[in-house]
Chain A
Amino acid sequence: MALFLRSLTRQGTCLSRSQFGVLYRHAVPMGTTAKEEMNKFWAKNNKLNRPMSPHVTVYKWSVPMMMSISHRGTGLGLSAGVSAFALLALVLPGSYPYYLDLIHSQSFGPALIGLAKFGIAFPLSYHTFNGIRHLCWDSGKGFKIPEVYGSGYTVIVLTVLTTIAAVAYKGAA
């Protein structure tokens, strides 16, 4: 501290008594973006081979946490399904109705069809209802903790009901 004051004396940085006077000599804005800062963090810690602190293994799981990762999980699962379907469409020689009838005519066919309906309905309805919940948050609403839990349970109940209705429903061809 004394060293600092002595260096100041040498520089002669005495100012007038104006309370609002500022020194712009050192006015340089910060040069890094958030992205750069994040990359620096990871580069440094990976280089030092530092282990990751336990986080998901030690933190107590809560319903909002589980719903959040499920939203991500259902999203990834649905994307994988869509991409797989698109790839098959490009690669397989026959038409969709042909393959659908082929599967349906097998002994395990109807069970497989039912499984497919569930496999689409459950993640799709969960992701959709939780997606609406996310959009509400994006508009600024529903952040109070009771509201977070309330909307969360609503999403779960709606998902279950919609999935049951979807799997049970059989439309006309």
Chain B
Amino acid sequence: MAAIVRISSLCHRGVKPLFHRSSLLLRPLGVQQKDQDRPYQLTARIHGSPSLYSGSGSKAASLHWTGERVVSVMLLALGPAAYYIPGPAIDYSLAAAITLHSHWGIGQVLTDYIHGESKIKVANACLFLLSTVTFAGLCYFNHNDVGICKAVALLWSK
């Protein structure tokens, strides 16, 4: 086969076009045959960087990620707060932050290990139910019983 595939045009353009936000990256391949005096041009579709989709896609996943980190940091702050200024405000904040952190964490575990559309739906529904009951139980405990901070203090006093 005497055809020589030339990627010279790609070499000329260098790597920079790969980072451009075009919807599709195409590169012409110059195919030359010694006995032909006209080069034929083919195109090849190549995948660009994930930023391709940022225009048309939603930011839900990235916002979720950020939300997870924010709740984690808040939970870190609530620890010393619960020790130094225990009370209903911290009790309910802890109930909310713990439940949410837990819910999102278990959600990631389910995403990692459960596959198949219907199985994923069932698992997430069960998780939602569990988190709702957990939050309800913690709020009930805060309202009708001693509250989270006091409960921990009592356990550590025995």
What 1/0 flags go to A69-93 for Cβ under 8 Å of B?
0001001101100110111111000
Most buried by B among A9, A78, A171: A171
Is B19 in contact with chain A by the CB < 8 A criterion? no
- B: interface residue count bin: 35 or more
Say if the beta carbon of A157 comes within 8 Å of chain B: no
Within 8 A of A (CB), among B34-82: 38-43, 45, 47, 52-53, 57, 69, 72-73, 76, 79
Question: Given A14-B41, A39-B115, A79-B106, A29 and B158 touching (CB < 8 A)?
Answer: no
- In the bound complex, residues from chain B placing their C-beta under 8 Å from that of A96 are 141, 145-146, 151, 154
Q: If A86-B138, A131-B72, A135-B73 touch, does A170 touch B157 (CB 8 Å cutoff)?
A: yes
* Cβ of A8 under 8 Å from chain B: yes
* B-side contacts of A131, CB under 8 Å: 72, 76
CA–CA, A79 to B25, complex, Å? 46
What is the 8 Å Cβ interface bit string for chain A, positions 29-46, against chain B (1 contact, 0 not)? 110010000110011001
For A95, list chain B residues within 8 Å (CB). Answer: 145-146
B146 and A22 form a contact (CB under 8 A): no
- In this complex, what residue of A is CB-closest to B115? A42
Complex-state Cα separation, A141 to B39, whole angstroms: 51
Once the chains are docked, how many angstroms separate the CA of A27 from the CA of B25?
8
